Amino acid sequence: MALRSAQGDGPTSGHWDGGAEKADFNAKRKKKVAEIHQALNSDPTDVAALRRMAISEGGLLTDEIRRKVWPKLLNVNANDPPPISGKNLRQMSKDYQQVLLDVRRSLRRFPPGMPEEQREGLQEELIDIILLILERNPQLHYYQGYHDIVVTFLLVVGERLATSLVEKLSTHHLRYQ
C-alpha cells in the first residue's frame, strides 16, 4: 500500500480524485455535441446519424439539442407549428375524465421546485394537447402512461411544437391497437 501511494496511484494522489475520468467524460460529451451539430448542419440533415446518437449512451444530452433534433427525427417543421386549441374539446371528449385523472396524478413528472401556478398551467396545456391529438386522430386511443410521453415533449419544446411532434410520434411510432 505504501508503495502505491509513493508512486502516485493511491487515494492521496491527484490521479485518484476522478479528474482524468471527468476530463474523459467532458471530451466525449464535446465530441458528441460536435457530431450532433455536424449531422444537423449537413445538407440534407443526417437523420440516421441523429437517430444513432439519440439512442447511444447519454442520448441527446441537453434540452437545447433535443429542441433541434426531435423535429428532424420526426420530420416536423419546427419553424411553423400549427396553432392549437384543445380547450373546447373537454366537454366532447370521451377520454377527458381519464386524461384529467392521469394528468392530476403526474406531479412527479414536473421539475422539483416548479411554482404550483406554473405546474398547473402546464397540466392544463398537457390535457389540451392530448385531447386535440385524440380528436384529430380517431384511430388513436388514450392509454395509461401516454401523458408521461406528452409531458416530456411539453417541458422541452412548449405547447405548439409538442403537439406537432407528439402527433407525428403517435401516428407513426406509438400506435396503440
Name, in order, each residue with C-beta under 8 angstroms of 124's C-beta and a sequence gap of 6 or more.
none
If one compares 4 and 162, the residue with the highest pLDDT of the two is 162
- Give the C-alpha separation, 78 to 160, whole Å: 9
CATH architecture of the domain 87-172 equals Orthogonal Bundle (1.10)
Check if the beta carbon of residue 168 is closer than 8 Å to that of residue 76. Answer: yes
What is the reported pLDDT for 19? 77
From first CA to last CA, the distance across the chain in angstroms is 62
pLDDT tens-digit map of 10-64: 444 445 556 788 888 899 999 999 999 999 999 999 999 999 999 999 999 999 9
Residue 140's pLDDT is what? Answer: 94
Domain with CATH 1.10.8.1310 in the chain: 19-74, 87-172
Per-residue confidence (pLDDT) for residue 85, from 0 to 100: 66
**What does the alpha-carbon distance between residue 14 and residue 37 come to, in Å, rounded to a whole number?**
34
Query: What is the structure's pLDDT at 18?
Result: 67
Query: Tell me: domain 19-74, CATH 3.40.50.2300, correct?
Result: no
Nearest to 8 by CA among 26, 24, 20: 20
**Interatomic CA distance for residues 96 and 76, integer angstroms:** 27
Q: Confirm if 98 and 130 have CB atoms less than 8 A apart.
A: no
pTM of the shown model: 0.78
